Amino acid sequence: MAQWLHMSQLIPCLPDDTINSLYPPRTFPIEVRHFLSEWIEGQRWDDFAIENLEQQTQAQALLDQTINMLQTIAHQNASVVDRMKLMNISRNMAGFQQQPLQFGVMVRDILRKERVLLSASSSTRSSQPFQQLPNREFYQHLPDVDHLVLNVLEVQDCRQNIHQLQEELNWEKQNYESLQGSMPPNGLELPKDVQKLQTHIQTLEYKVKTMTTKRFKLLKDCVDFLDQCQTRLINRLKEWRCEQHKAAIGHDFDDNLNSLQTWCEQLLGVNGKLRQEVMLAGEPIPELQERLGQLLKVLIQSSLIVDKQPPQVIKTQSKFSTTVRYLLGEKMAPGKPVVLKAQIINELQARNLGNVSCSDNVGELINNTAILEHNTASKHTCATFRNMSIKKIKRADRKGSESVTEEKFAILFSTEITITGCDTPHRTQMISLPVVVIVHGSQDINALATIVWDCAFSEPDRVPFVVPERVPWRSMYSTLNSKFTSEVQTKHNLDQYNQHFLAQKIFDKPDFADDFSNTMVTWAQFNKEVLPGRPFTFWQWFEGVMELTKKHLKTYWSEGLIFGFIGKQHLHLILKDRPNGTFLLRFSDSEIGGITIAYVSASENGGQKIQNIQPFTKRDLEIRSLGDRIRDINHITHLYPDFPKHEVFKKFYSEPQPSPSGGYIPVSLQTTVGTCQFQPPFSPQESMTQEMMDTATNPDEFRAAPSVVFPNEMGYPGNNTEIDLESILKTLDD
One-character DSSP codes across 563-610: -BS--HHHHHHHHTTSPTTEEEEEE-SSSTTEEEEEEEEE-TTSSEEE
Does pLDDT of 200 surpass 80? yes
pLDDT band at 682; cut points 50, 70, 90: very low
Neighbours of 111 (CB within 10 A): 17
Alpha helices in 356-493 (DSSP H): 444-457, 473-488
Does pLDDT of 363 surpass 80? yes
Q: In CATH, what number does 309-466 get?
A: 2.60.40.630
Domain 3-120 CATH class label: mainly alpha
- pLDDT value for 182: 63
Of 41, 69, 43, 46, the closest CA to residue 58 belongs to 43
- pLDDT value for 108: 74
Contact 704, 614 (CB under 8 A): yes
C-alpha to C-alpha distances, 527 to 262, 538, 547, 564, nearest whole angstrom:
43, 6, 17, 21
- Class of residue 518 by CB neighbours under 10 A (exposed 0-12, middle 13-18, buried 19+): exposed
Strands 313-315 and 436-438: parallel
- pLDDT value for 29: 62
- pLDDT value for 514: 85
Higher pLDDT, 597 or 162: 597
- SS3 (DSSP) at 345: strand
pLDDT in tens, 223-276: 999 999 999 999 999 999 999 999 999 999 999 999 999 999 999 999 999 999
Does pLDDT of 391 surpass 80? yes
pLDDT in tens, 628-681: 999 999 889 999 999 999 999 999 999 877 776 766 777 778 888 875 443 444
pLDDT band at 686; cut points 50, 70, 90: very low
Strands 470-472 and 520-522: antiparallel
C-alpha to C-alpha distances, 339 to 41, 333, 344, 368, 552, nearest whole angstrom:
60, 13, 17, 10, 45
Higher pLDDT, 222 or 9: 222
pLDDT in tens, 479-493: 999 999 999 999 999
Average pLDDT over the chain reads 80
The yes/no answer on whether domain 471-652 falls in CATH 3.40.50.720 is no
| Mean of pLDDT values over 63-69 | 83
Note the Cα 17 to chain centre separation in Å: 40
H/E run at residue 390: strand 380-393
User: Distance between CA 55 and CA 53 in Å, rounded?
Assistant: 5
H/E run at residue 325: strand 319-326
With a CB cutoff of 8 Å and minimum separation 6, the contacts of 573 are none
Higher pLDDT, 74 or 25: 74
Higher pLDDT, 11 or 297: 297
- pLDDT value for 321: 97
Higher pLDDT, 163 or 223: 223
Does pLDDT of 334 surpass 60? yes
- pLDDT value for 683: 37
pLDDT band at 82; cut points 50, 70, 90: low
Does pLDDT of 330 surpass 50? yes
DSSP string, 160-213: HHHHHHHHHHHHHHHHHHHHGGGPPPTTSPPPHHHHHHHHHHHHHHHHHHHHHH
User: Distance between CA 257 and CA 240 in Å, rounded?
Assistant: 9
Supply the pTM of this predicted model: 0.71
User: Distance between CA 215 and CA 342 in Å, rounded?
Assistant: 46
111-120 CB contacts, 8 Å cutoff, 24+ apart:
111/36, 111/37, 111/40, 113/8, 113/9, 114/7, 114/8, 114/22, 117/22
Contact 402, 344 (CB under 8 A): no
pLDDT band at 94; cut points 50, 70, 90: confident
In percent, the amount of the chain with pLDDT more than 90 equals 51
- pLDDT value for 625: 94
pLDDT band at 183; cut points 50, 70, 90: low
- pLDDT value for 39: 58
User: Distance between CA 499 and CA 505 in Å, rounded?
Assistant: 10
Of 664, 639, 661, 641, the closest CA to residue 649 belongs to 639
Does pLDDT of 614 surpass 80? yes
Candidate CATH numbers 1.20.1050.20, 1.10.760.10, 3.10.290.10, 1.10.150.120; the one for domain 142-181+192-296: 1.20.1050.20
Higher pLDDT, 721 or 319: 319
| Mean of pLDDT values over 438-454 | 96
Please name the amino acid found at residue 53. L
Domain ranges of the chain: 3-120, 142-181+192-296, 309-466, 471-652
Q: Which neighbouring-strand residues pair with 706?
A: 671
| Mean of pLDDT values over 318-325 | 97
Does pLDDT of 95 surpass 70? yes
Does pLDDT of 171 surpass 70? yes
- pLDDT value for 689: 36
- pLDDT value for 706: 41
Does pLDDT of 114 surpass 80? no
pLDDT in tens, 548-599: 999 999 999 999 999 999 988 889 899 988 999 999 999 999 899 999 999 9
- pLDDT value for 21: 30
| Torsion sign over Cα 156, 157, 161, 162 | negative
- pLDDT value for 187: 54
